[in-house]
Structure 1
């Protein structure tokens, strides 16, 4: 084993020449690199002194390719530390569980992988249908009927379902090695008595709280071991579980589905964040990241040439650096406005008209009406109040203002009228999302009425309550078919997913603007404080010059019937979809449509573009 000064530009542990380069940041005068064999027994101790230091970076080159299946950590002042750039970590395969025998060490190397010409799909935001999931919760329930429940492989089992639904992009809640149970604290001198044992930690099972969602710190360069069927099946024996995440990405790409990862950073440096995102894009071929970081790091990500085709999603991108097609914002304003209109609040039509056509040039908008941070869609129409008692915080946690409405009774009910109303409201909400400009996102399970029993913040609940319930029900099937139909309708009509904003003008002289608003009278939408019905018409020719058809979405969020005036066309209108089982009725010789209370109707009609007169 030949040892020399390393390359401080290569952070973490990297294959380098005929050996490995180890680089570690620490504000101290000396440190030690501890190397362990394949059985995690002490093998070598390499002292790191000032000769191997540049600034606060220690770097050493070890010329020995026999280290491939070995492990390492660092020792400073008698304490051992894991490398924040670790690519894989031992003994993390059991979610929310620790043991005094656990040994946490970083793998020196991970296996090579044959990507078979795989590459990110690079879909435009305008063509995407986002589907957000927690990897564990997506298939952990016994109702999921998959082999490897709660794992990356479980997602592979659900790919046919995702394709049939029409999903183009899945967004994963944190799936890197986040610390859900506190297994990586600062070590104490007493723990160091077991030299070479890595980090140990005992958790009081009576007081511990699991971070089920993963919005916390951890080791950002390693996939979550407990989300791997490989690691979870072999606790105490290291198996290279990184291949499983790569298998998931490759299989999803083969089936035309992108992968976006959420990454929650706290006080990490801009350089660290940039290297992390680059690592996941190059090593794991992900298509995008939804990052929580400060503005300087976000700006660096937006301007990085390597990430120019990578989706970068955030919550506050201001676009000051110009148009960035790969940047997007989570549109929480859409959620709140849509929810308030859904439950019938006053003075919401103008705001909804504006937010539903919002499609800024400098970034995309991700629209949703339910997300992991709040009620599921089913609970949004079933509960007036949050019910977070299981979280152990006396129901003080979670959002208090959910803009929800239980439709007449809190929680589950057997009353037919209430159940019918809730069904319409769920369908209405989905129509709001899929008929609006921007990129639609649905929370896993919302497409068939998944419930969390009114818990709007189950960040620490790892049980059937927070896992997606795949049990088939009559109501769930009805919601699922409605969701599929909406997605198909959206994808079939380019005007509903344009890459640029609609202008409310007749730019091609077809006799109709690209988007227009209507109400009791055609071409005039009444948006008074007390009004709760609105017609939005789209001219499809602006999305496809060969498509001379119109789409008319009639939103009636009032508790009374309303008649919508239909613009005159040299053809007929027909009702394609209605959230009310009895449908909508076209009246007055094709000049109006009557829509029942709290319902959405989608109509289509065709027309002929007048021939241009020759000069």
Structure 2
């Protein structure tokens, strides 16, 4: 083994035929040691290589090339320098540090507490592995490249999807990338075209209250490495292959892979948290610090905030995204608390944050889906997020739909926005309406079943006195808190769930479904189950049979969404060829008053061979709706597709029945959704009752 000066680029450990080049950013460090371990389970390095400031340092980068080592080499660093929190410097040569560019992480003996306290932690530290990422055979893999308008997103947790014994998988395969592969046929049968995976970047399981685990994974250790805990053997190199096997299998099934990436904070926490990587390499570079430099700004709500628009951090995030998209072949990214990335080093929001524009314009990421959770602890930027390509989680869609479905007054008018891809938020004609990621539920909050079963959160199991989690849930238990033996209450709950799915899949925009909502997965009223790695959070596969009626309904609704041209629009309604007409109980007479709890609309495009008429009745009494005649003189009339007020299986059919309705008045049941379809050769309709784009964003409908 021979040590050569090496090069400052690329950062990380780069495998070559003759050896490995190591490069590390450590501004203000006075000395750096590279530690080489003979095996993953060795607690002490076989060799310690001191890097010379004269021969192994260029500007702020410490580097060397070591001949005779190869793919699989385990390594870490010790970095020396001033420990002076008053100036923001926290160098600690006793702490063994993980390379932030490591492509695989050894965490078998990781001890978070020892990384928090003074003293040598080599035996329990995180270590990186030098990886040649091009050793994998992708065979004939090709990305599906679905447009947003052809996308149905399913947000799932890799572990929780198959960890329950009811998954029917061998124990070793449960909760793994391979386990997910086994359930791909289920996703296909549902009609899913993209999975949005909760964090799979290596995260700290121990960053949780005592006796609990960080189940969700929003506690990153390494941005570049796939989480070992989701590999069958929990081996870092095995995790690389198993993750890629999963991506390849999903692509073969026509399903895209979107990663939930957490670039807003790390598991190093605040000034009392552990030091395992960024704190000991360049604390002032990587984190936003308070004015006195002793503490951390906390726009993430988790103790620290990544300084995303610092040039060094910006480059690291871009390199990371390029790696996952270009090398690991994922199809897109959902950015957790993305508003953090719009802040400057002092935490002030920027009008044109460099990082976000660089991500948007990066040619390697040109085909990647970019989805922002456009808020943080203080900022709320839904509808105002930077750029032209970014899609956004539409939190206002969630809130408005929940309030409307439970029967709150004053939401008939805001529902106009929800059904139209929220033009009050995404204002210009040029923006694709599918940048609105519509959802009624997500991992954070009640499941859909719990939304109709609980008035209050029930988070005592988290060990925080029920103080954690959202208080504004906009839920309604339908008459009894929690599980019920009352047949009427259970029937109403099922109907309300169907109403939510119907609205989600009838609205313009890109729908996102939470794992298990289609089979009434419950968290027993826990709306913040981040630390519940147990059946509370897992997918119970016995529900697939128990809730076959709801599952059938959701499949049919997805089929309607994906086969009707009206839900594949790439332009806002009334801004191109498809027009929307709004109605009330009488055609062309919508009632958007404070007391109204219903609305109706019809969709028409002369180029399409069908027309759609929809009624949403959130009122607790039945209402008679007179629907307009079909626009085409050749039409045979209106045919019923959906009526959630009818018992199964009459409640839905993705193919209309043979006989049209014999009357123009329909008694719409309480708390139900009705969808009618007419087919024929259409001629242009009168523009009299159409709502223009200007009307949508004006006249008081933009609240």
Normalised to the residue count of structure 1, the TM-score between the two structures is: 0.88
SS of the equivalent of 2:46 reads strand
Q: Does structure 1 residue 115 correspond to structure 2 residue 138?
A: yes
Q: Does structure 1 residue 608 correspond to structure 2 residue 624?
A: no
Counterpart residue number, 2:624: 563
Counterpart residue number, 1:58: 62
Q: Is the 8 A contact 2:521 2:543 kept in 1?
A: no
Give 1:45-84 correspondences, 5 Å limit.
45-51=48-54, 52-64=56-68, 66-76=69-79, 77-84=93-100
Q: Which runs of 5+ in 2 are unaligned?
A: 80-92, 115-120, 266-305, 308-312, 343-352, 375-380, 652-656, 686-703
1:285 aligns with one of 317, 329, 333: 329
Counterpart residue number, 1:44: 47
Q: Is the 8 A contact 1:521 1:565 kept in 2?
A: yes
User: In the TM superposition, what whole-angstrom CA distance separates every residue of 1:565-606 from its partner, at most 9, and x where no partner exists?
Assistant: 211134311211211225689999532221100011111112
When residues 22 and 227 of structure 1 are mapped into structure 2, their CA distance, relative to the original with a 3 A threshold, is same
Counterpart residue number, 1:536: 601
1:365 aligns with one of 419, 436, 460: 436
Tell which deviates more after alignment, 133-142 or 585-594: 585-594
Q: Is the 8 A contact 1:177 1:224 kept in 2?
A: yes
Q: Is the 8 A contact 1:37 1:69 kept in 2?
A: no
Q: Which runs of 5+ in 1 are unaligned?
A: 183-202, 508-512
SS of the equivalent of 1:50 reads coil
How far did residue 497 of structure 1 move? 2.3
Q: Is the 8 A contact 2:231 2:238 kept in 1?
A: no
Take 1:208 and 1:96, find their aligned partners in 2: how far apart are those partners?
14
When residues 382 and 230 of structure 1 are mapped into structure 2, their CA distance, relative to the original with a 3 A threshold, is same
How far did residue 180 of structure 1 move? 1.8
When residues 467 and 330 of structure 1 are mapped into structure 2, their CA distance, relative to the original with a 3 A threshold, is same
More strand by share: 1
Take 1:463 and 1:525, find their aligned partners in 2: how far apart are those partners?
47
Counterpart residue number, 2:272: none
How far did residue 109 of structure 1 move? 2.1
When residues 281 and 93 of structure 1 are mapped into structure 2, their CA distance, relative to the original with a 3 A threshold, is farther
When residues 286 and 610 of structure 1 are mapped into structure 2, their CA distance, relative to the original with a 3 A threshold, is closer
Take 1:93 and 1:514, find their aligned partners in 2: how far apart are those partners?
61
When residues 94 and 574 of structure 1 are mapped into structure 2, their CA distance, relative to the original with a 3 A threshold, is farther
When residues 97 and 310 of structure 1 are mapped into structure 2, their CA distance, relative to the original with a 3 A threshold, is farther
Counterpart residue number, 1:307: 365
SS of the equivalent of 1:457 reads coil
Tell which deviates more after alignment, 12-21 or 206-215: 206-215
Take 1:352 and 1:89, find their aligned partners in 2: how far apart are those partners?
47
Q: Does structure 1 residue 213 correspond to structure 2 residue 216?
A: yes
Q: Does structure 1 residue 471 correspond to structure 2 residue 549?
A: no
SS of the equivalent of 1:230 reads coil
SS of the equivalent of 2:334 reads strand
1:323 aligns with one of 359, 376, 388: 388
Take 1:536 and 1:426, find their aligned partners in 2: how far apart are those partners?
21
Q: Does structure 1 residue 227 correspond to structure 2 residue 230?
A: yes
Take 1:462 and 1:214, find their aligned partners in 2: how far apart are those partners?
11
Take 1:606 and 1:145, find their aligned partners in 2: how far apart are those partners?
44
When residues 89 and 534 of structure 1 are mapped into structure 2, their CA distance, relative to the original with a 3 A threshold, is same
Q: Does structure 1 residue 179 correspond to structure 2 residue 209?
A: no
Counterpart residue number, 2:315: 271
Counterpart residue number, 1:200: none
How far did residue 270 of structure 1 move? 1.6
Q: Is the 8 A contact 1:263 1:291 kept in 2?
A: yes
Q: Is the 8 A contact 2:97 2:125 kept in 1?
A: no
When residues 131 and 568 of structure 1 are mapped into structure 2, their CA distance, relative to the original with a 3 A threshold, is same
1:141 aligns with one of 154, 159, 164: 164
Counterpart residue number, 2:494: 423
Take 1:12 and 1:113, find their aligned partners in 2: how far apart are those partners?
19
Q: Is the 8 A contact 2:582 2:599 kept in 1?
A: yes
Count of aligned positions: 572
When residues 211 and 433 of structure 1 are mapped into structure 2, their CA distance, relative to the original with a 3 A threshold, is same
Take 1:29 and 1:100, find their aligned partners in 2: how far apart are those partners?
20
SS of the equivalent of 1:223 reads coil
1:152 aligns with one of 146, 170, 177: 177
Q: Is the 8 A contact 1:494 1:540 kept in 2?
A: no
Tell which deviates more after alignment, 297-306 or 597-606: 297-306
How far did residue 210 of structure 1 move? 1.6
Take 2:407 and 2:588, find their aligned partners in 1: how far apart are those partners?
23
SS of the equivalent of 1:250 reads helix
Tell which deviates more after alignment, 82-91 or 458-467: 82-91
When residues 578 and 475 of structure 1 are mapped into structure 2, their CA distance, relative to the original with a 3 A threshold, is farther
Counterpart residue number, 1:21: 21
Take 2:598 and 2:549, find their aligned partners in 1: how far apart are those partners?
25
Tell which deviates more after alignment, 109-118 or 517-526: 109-118
User: In the TM superposition, what whole-angstrom CA distance separates every residue of 1:237-274 from its partner, at most 9, and x where no partner exists?
Assistant: x6532100000000000000000001112215222111
Tell which deviates more after alignment, 37-46 or 589-598: 37-46
Take 2:646 and 2:675, find their aligned partners in 1: how far apart are those partners?
13
When residues 474 and 24 of structure 1 are mapped into structure 2, their CA distance, relative to the original with a 3 A threshold, is closer
Counterpart residue number, 1:165: 190
Take 1:113 and 1:330, find their aligned partners in 2: how far apart are those partners?
34
How far did residue 100 of structure 1 move? 11
Tell which deviates more after alignment, 403-412 or 600-609: 600-609
When residues 22 and 477 of structure 1 are mapped into structure 2, their CA distance, relative to the original with a 3 A threshold, is same
SS of the equivalent of 1:178 reads coil
Q: Is the 8 A contact 2:638 2:661 kept in 1?
A: no
Q: Is the 8 A contact 1:230 1:239 kept in 2?
A: no
How far did residue 610 of structure 1 move? 4.3
Q: Is the 8 A contact 2:640 2:660 kept in 1?
A: no
Take 2:391 and 2:128, find their aligned partners in 1: how far apart are those partners?
34
SS of the equivalent of 1:240 reads helix
Q: Is the 8 A contact 1:587 1:594 kept in 2?
A: no
Q: Is the 8 A contact 1:580 1:600 kept in 2?
A: yes
1:350 aligns with one of 398, 413, 418: 413
Counterpart residue number, 1:514: 579
SS of the equivalent of 1:281 reads helix
Normalised to the residue count of structure 2, the TM-score between the two structures is: 0.77
How far did residue 555 of structure 1 move? 0.8
